Amino acid sequence: MKLEETIQTRRSLFPKQMSGEMVPNGVIEKMLELANWAPTHRNTEPWRFKVYGGKAMTALLDYCKECYVKETPSHTFNSMKVEKIEQSKTQVSRIVAICMKRNDIVPEFEEIAATAMAVQNMWLYLASTEKYGGYWSTPSYAMGNHLKKYLNLEENERCLGLFYIGTIAQNQTLPKGHRGDWRNKVTMQF
């Protein structure tokens, strides 16, 4: 697949669209190697990834359910969200905790941006395989202190979400993307 096509066809692959089939370790390793080539101001390389599979992933998802239950106010609590987390155990191959290590030599937004670009590299690589995909989930509990402790993050580290990785289920057709005309979002001066 050409780069332009990969960029234009990359989509979020939600856990319910994943088959549960294991993504090979070689694919995960290549994905992480390419993530490491994201742009980084002053070479801080702030991205940190914690990969969970098998029993470790099940334990992480169980902890996520606990965090959701503990941290969600009763007026916004939705038992379907707990069920979706549980269902992920049989749909998802791996979960990557997307973390960022803060370095005071550049503004924080630059390190968040660099980490997001590393995730985009992962996403584009998975899309290029035409067999695997991912979904970046940012529930509030993932950014909370409970999960930070679970992930053993240092004081200067924070979690920016969870990246679910899986094999595209055979009955899934990823939607076509829609974007407005780029010219409506750009001002050029020469």
Q: Residue 129 maps to which CATH number?
A: 3.40.109.10
Assigned domain for 121 exists? yes
Which two structure tokens, joined as six digits, stand for 3? 């780069």
The band of 181, judged by pLDDT with boundaries at 50, 70 and 90, is very high
Confirm whether 190 is domain-assigned: no
> 88: pLDDT confidence band, cut at 50, 70 and 90?
very high
Residue 98 lies in a domain: yes
Number of folded domains that form the chain: 1
Q: Are 13 and 166 in contact (CB under 8 A)?
A: yes
For residue 48, the model assigns a pLDDT of 98
First to last CA, the chain: 34
Walk across the sheet containing 157-167 and list its strands.
47-53, 94-101, 157-167, 132-137
Instruction: Judge whether 92 lies within some domain.
Output: yes
Does 32 reside within a domain? yes
Is residue 34 within 8 Å of 6, Cβ to Cβ?
no
Q: pLDDT tens-digit profile of 128-179?
A: 999 999 999 999 999 999 999 999 999 999 999 999 999 999 988 888 899 9
Domain span at residue 87 reads 3-172
Please give the full DSSP string across 53-94, using - where no structure is assigned.
EHHHHHHHHHHHHHHHHHHS-TTT--HHHHHHHHHHHHH-SE
> How far, in Å, CA of 53 to CA of 93, rounded?
7
Q: Is residue 167 part of a domain?
A: yes
pLDDT of residue 175: 85
Q: What is the DSSP letter of 168?
A: B
Residue 183 counted as domain residue: no
177 falls within a domain:
no
Residue 1 has pLDDT above 80, yes or no: no
Burial of 181 (0-12, 13-18, 19+ CB in 10 A): exposed
